[in-house]
Amino acid sequence: MNRPHKSAQAALRAPGGRRQEATTMAYSLEYVEEERRSRGPAAAATFFLTMGWADLCRRAALLVTYVLVFRVRCAPRALRGSHLGPARPRGFMRPVLILGAFLCAPASGFAADTSDEPRAQTVDAISVEAPMQHPRLGERLGFHGRWFGIPVGYGAVEVAKEFVEISGRKAYHIKAEGHTNEVLSAFYPIHDVVDSYLDAETLQPLKFEKHQHEGNYRADEIVLFDYATKTATYESLLNKSVKKIPLPDEFQDIISAIYWFRSQAVTPNKALNLAIYTDEKIYETQILIKKPMVLELRKRGTFPCLVVEPKPHFKGLLVKRGRIWAYLTADKRRLPLFVKATTPWGAMSAVLDLDSLEASKEP
């Protein structure tokens, strides 16, 4: 077994408040040390020399941001002196940011690769096709994602190949999941799986399940939506608590909202309004369709896109815990090609993988 890099050993010995800072730098240097072992000294040196001053400053800012935002709370358990739960964004933007910006990247690696970054250009007008009205059975959308240009995880949203039955209704089963890769999991592991069951006719959610593992935080819950009584029944599988939540006439959950929007006839420079259920609350959300853009994706092509930004409100107040933009193709498929977000953790992005794009072309 390889001995830990001496900087990692120093992190274990670092006292008090210096421990997290040392740990953060140690993991970055640990990657370089691994590159040196596996590919030789030239590869590790190239990692620094090819990034340039701008990238080098960005990496330094990333490490400082990590220390300031996460502090000792997100350090590996072996490096903590006590059990502290990590601070997490709450409310609407938290699941949106994790789902949208954390449907992420390759399963390993820490070096940034800006050559894969999409390029977008604003245009005056694009042709917008009429959308598909229902999800495609078996559709799988896999994503590569980055944090400050660094690979951080992987994820997917997938429609089951067959219908299921929920409360006597035929339904689509849609599963979304997001996972941090090995490098980021050493700091702050995220393994989230969310299941949404949509009525096959109305596309309204019938059932919602969430299983979260984020740092020291756990959540396992099931929500059933009763349209006759306009009530959601929330049940925690951890503490067995049950809660009744009033519902509006029309709403979507955080997953079904994606497929609802993909089925809407929209045009640039317009807005849609939607009530979204998440975290035991209903958020009145304005979905802004921005100016049209042409998006260039490396090895994938160039696509006319609709650019979308959700603006959530709770009890009349704008929720400001980050911003997220999604680039969807203007053809009938409405594929989410690219998602970028500003979050309490910094800038994140996710790109649809090549396999998903090729599979979407099949009839």
Q: Is 1 within a domain? A: no
Q: Is 88 within a domain? A: no
**Nearby residues of 138 by Cβ (< 8 Å), 6 or more positions away:** 159, 160, 161
The span from the CA of 326 to the CA of 258, in Å, is 10
Hey, which bits of the chain come out as E strands? Answer: 119-122, 140-147, 150-159, 164-166, 169-180, 190-199, 205-214, 217-226, 231-236, 242-246, 252-253, 270-278, 281-289, 293-297, 301-314, 317-318, 323-329, 336-343, 346-352
CB of 267 within 8 A of CB of 128? yes
Task: State which of 106-120, 156-170, 286-300, 313-327 shows the largest mean pLDDT.
Answer: 156-170
Q: Is 266 within a domain? A: yes
Distance linking the first and last C-alpha atoms of the chain: 50
DSSP conformation class of 312: E
**107 and 256, same structural domain?**
yes
The last residue of a domain, from among 15, 46, 79: 79
The span from the CA of 28 to the CA of 40, in Å, is 17
Report how many domains make up the chain: 2
Rg (CA), the chain: 22
What stretch of H or E contains 189? none
Between 319 and 69, the more confident residue is 319
**Nearby residues of 24 by Cβ (< 8 Å), 6 or more positions away:** 63, 66, 67, 187
**297 and 347, same structural domain?**
yes
Predicted local distance difference test score (pLDDT) of residue 219: 92
**171 and 53, same structural domain?**
no
DSSP conformation class of 79: G
Q: Half-sphere exposure of residue 166, counting CA atoms within 13 Å on the CB side?
A: 24
- AA letter at 21: E
**284 and 188, same structural domain?**
yes
**73 and 126, same structural domain?**
no
- Environment class of residue 14 by beta-carbon count within 10 Å: exposed (0-12), middle (13-18) or buried (19+)? middle
- AA letter at 79: L
Q: How far, rounded to the nearest angstrom, does the alpha carbon of residue 181 sit from its chain's CA centroid?
A: 13
**111 and 195, same structural domain?**
yes
The last residue of a domain, from among 79, 114, 133: 79
CB of 146 within 8 A of CB of 152? yes
The last residue of a domain, from among 52, 79, 106: 79
**149 and 283, same structural domain?**
yes
pLDDT band at 128 (very low <50, low <70, confident <90, very high): very high
Indicate whether 278 pLDDT > 70.
yes
**109 and 70, same structural domain?**
no
**105 and 70, same structural domain?**
no
Overall average pLDDT of the 151-177 stretch: 96
The span from the CA of 205 to the CA of 250, in Å, is 10
**74 and 101, same structural domain?**
no
Q: Is 195 within a domain? A: yes
3-state secondary structure 115-175: HHCCEEEECCCCCCCCCCCCCCCCCEEEEEEEECCEEEEEEEEEECCCCEEECCEEEEEEE
pLDDT digits (tens, 9 = 90+) for 79-118: 333 333 444 444 544 444 444 433 433 333 334 444 567 8
**200 and 287, same structural domain?**
yes
**186 and 56, same structural domain?**
no
Indicate whether 333 pLDDT > 50.
yes
Residue-number span of the structural domain to which 43 is assigned? 6-79
Q: What is the pTM of this model?
A: 0.70
Q: Is 209 within a domain? A: yes
**Token reading at 303:** 């696509």
Predicted local distance difference test score (pLDDT) of residue 82: 35
Q: Is 298 within a domain? A: yes
Indicate whether 210 pLDDT > 90.
yes
Q: Is 86 within a domain? A: no
CB of 26 within 8 A of CB of 5? yes
Q: Is 97 within a domain? A: yes
